[in-house]
Structure 1
Amino acid sequence: MTTNTTAEKDDASAEFRPEGTAAKVWEALTATPAVSVTMIAEAAGVSRPTATKALTAFAEAGRAIRTPGGRSEEGRALPDTWSPILADDARDQDGDVPPDTTADAAVTADESNEPPTAPEASDATTEDAPAPTMSLTDAMRILEQEADRRAAAEAELARAQAEEEARRQQAAETLTKARMIEDTRRALTDLLNAVTTAYAALLSDDDTAFSTGLEAIYSGTADVRKATRTTQPKTTTGWGSSRDGDRSAPRPLRPDVVAHLTKYPDLTFTANEIAKVLGRSSGAVANALDTLARNGEAELVSERPNRFRATKPQNA
């Protein structure tokens, strides 16, 4: 006797009646066949591990089949799908459907709120986790974007560094000019005081005070030159080189000291005073004065501090 195929599948589905949570999974599977575990679990209102257990039990009982998902055109891993088996070969020889105790046992752990086992978690990860793939075109595009980003970043850093160096240079120049103005004002004030003192001593015919005032004027003049000299920028063409590309050769010191003493034969000077006028170090000038005194070209007049003057001619 010929029967309708759809009717036979409905009869087989009706006779296979899992119990408990497995029944919900079976109902969702038969209602939406060829879908993933995630969709079956959502339709059944159960957790994904519970649905996986039930589907595995259905497959072992010959009531469900699992189809590998494969990969998409983009290379992504697709989830496996599940479908029910509704055929007469699921019956035994007497026409009875064997009891489905496996599915009920599989969901017992979920109903008792026990945590899923490690194999189930691994199976879930295998079904849904996409494999990280990247084409050569994507890799080249990323490299080009990174190269452009690095070039832009380097340009921005260079610009910021140049602006910072310019700001520091301007601040240094401003500070140097302010220091020059302050030092020059002090030197000019001291020089004005020395000139006033010497002028008053000249009017009062005080030779000693006048000589002291002149020495202060010489020293003050050197201080003014030294203060204004700081405004001259130092341009170098290399490490340790001057503006002309070579260091200036050291000039002899003793002739300059002798010339200064000879210019003012009636005055006495300390090494520090002469050093300020000549723009040389006081230690070098002191050594030069000692050498001149030993050679008879200068005369030590007093000590603490040592004061020197030019040697007077013998016929004077």
Structure 2
Amino acid sequence: MFSLRFRIAKWVMNHRGLSAAVFALVTLFFGIGLKDVKLDTIFSDLLPRDEPYVQVFKDHPNFGNPLTFTLMLQRKDGDIYNAETLSKVWNLTRDIDLAPGVDHDQILSISTEKARYAEATPFGIDMRPLMGDSVPTSPEEIADFKTRVEKSPNARTFLISADQSATLINATFIESRLDYAEAFKYVQGLVVAARDEHHNVYLAGQPALTGWVFTYKQEMFKIFAITLTALVVALALYMRNVVGIVTPIVTSIVAAIWGFGLTGWIKSPIEPLLMVVPLLLVARSFSHCVQFTERYYEIYAHLKDRKQAAEITM
């Protein structure tokens, strides 16, 4: 194995032009793939496929979905049973139904038809929506609506807080149509617009967390740029020669082209939260190349022959 490594190194040094041409062609090939590199989150790819709970989720997608935005509307100075707050619930529910990629059948609030109460009639049990085709506005309509809520344990337990000062609005999105950045921008706009002196609106859910990541994407790139600049400065202070500085930089750039180019060729989007991995790999390539360059100069100091020093180092 030792002699094989030497033969490979000797062949490369004796055919430097050919080796450089092959290296350049491979880099060019991966460089073409850079145009298809995409930062995106594919939620299903983050789940362990052999996990029983995940398999049940995939087999029965209509029974719950983690791709859900949850809005909480809170009245600051009382309960939700007033015309202003109920009107906000009504408008938020209908506005979020216009969000890009939303599943129109998976929107739930006290103003949707899915929120129902049970009422006994001479003909049996009748299930009716809590809120009809309009928002309760008069004191009598609001009192009637409150009575209906009391007849709906599910709404009272899962949609309205115990002190009756807050209510939830849930909107589930279709994974194949969900653009996290676009959907989050739209829903966050609704949240900001709905806040006033009497109401707080809060946003939660897995898509919201990922949306915040996309919101701060530019800041993330700035942090990476500062980190890479610090690496180069540290390298310059340590090596103090042109070759020792340029070689690790070129090596790391080529490694980045190969890695990102491969993801572009196989059409695999890069998860933003995993962008720290390429940064760590670049740091490792810096480290390896610095060691390689140092070893080259050590051997060259003894042999005074660049070709042979490079061959032995390799």
Judge same fold: TM > 0.5, yes or no.
no
For this structure pair, what is the TM-score category when the shorter chain's length is used for normalisation?
A: under 0.3
Specify which structure has the higher proportion of strand. Answer: 2
Question: Larger relative CO (CA 8 A, sep 6+): 1 or 2?
Answer: 2
TM-score (norm 2): 0.21
